[in-house]
Chain A
């Protein structure tokens, strides 16, 4: 089955710790995106990548980092510099049309 997978479903971060969220797609899409969703707010773009080995900052990139070494994978690292990381993180991909398809999400909680 084609789709987008995210892991883990839940992630706990201790203060000062970096954590990495996984996103994989087998849709052969070129573009991939990371969003953050907070209650009562729309999705906010963290980073996006249109091709391998290239990525761009979105609206709220501070405290986050990404890599795009393979077309299928776009991991997101939440660094210790992100002071309010508790949120629902969504990965998306797009294959040419001006729309995006989402994964199931990762909920990040701070211990």
Chain B
């Protein structure tokens, strides 16, 4: 079993839709949770960072963590064509030396 599982998609939605991206992880020792956005041929850009269960909101983006289920989600409201990218989930242990990444979900938002 992979440490982090993420559906690679691709996922295609119309502009304005609510997008839900998800990852599961296997090791309950992981305590830090990130979402990165990666445009084609670019480096990943940090979108959201959280270390606790619950929701964290930043504009149109909401990160949700359920440690009891080992399940993390990213919601994008009012999706825009500029949101078209690959979204990577990442989990980490204290000390920042064992970050694990999902394979990434490719999202396309159609005008």
Query: Which B residues are within 8 Å of any A CB, using their own CB?
Result: 4, 6, 8, 31-32, 34, 36, 41-46, 49, 51, 88, 90, 92-97, 99-104
Contact = CB atoms under 8 A, between A and B. Distances in A.
Interface in A42-58: 42-43, 45, 48, 50, 56
Nearest to B42: A104
A102 B44 contact: yes
Contact of B88 (A42, A45, A94, A98): A42
5 contacts: A42-B104, A97-B96, A98-B31, A98-B32, A107-B41
Nearest to B97: A48
B46 A94 contact: no
A31 B96 contact: yes
Q: Is the interface of B mostly helix, strand, loop or mixed?
A: loop
Interface of A: 4, 6, 31, 40-43, 45, 48, 50, 56, 88, 90, 94, 97-105, 107
Q: Is the interface of A mostly helix, strand, loop or mixed?
A: strand
B49 A105 contact: no
Contacts of B100: 42
Given A42-B4, A42-B88, A50-B97, A101 B46 contact: yes
A90 B43 contact: yes
Contacts of B94: 98
A105 B38 CA distance: 11
B43 A102 contact: yes
B43 A104 contact: yes
A3 to B, nearest CB: 10
Contact of B103 (A40, A99, A102): A40
Contacts of B45: 102
A50 B100 CA distance: 17
A48 B18 CA distance: 37
A41 B43 CA distance: 15
A88 B39 CA distance: 13
Nearest to A96: B96
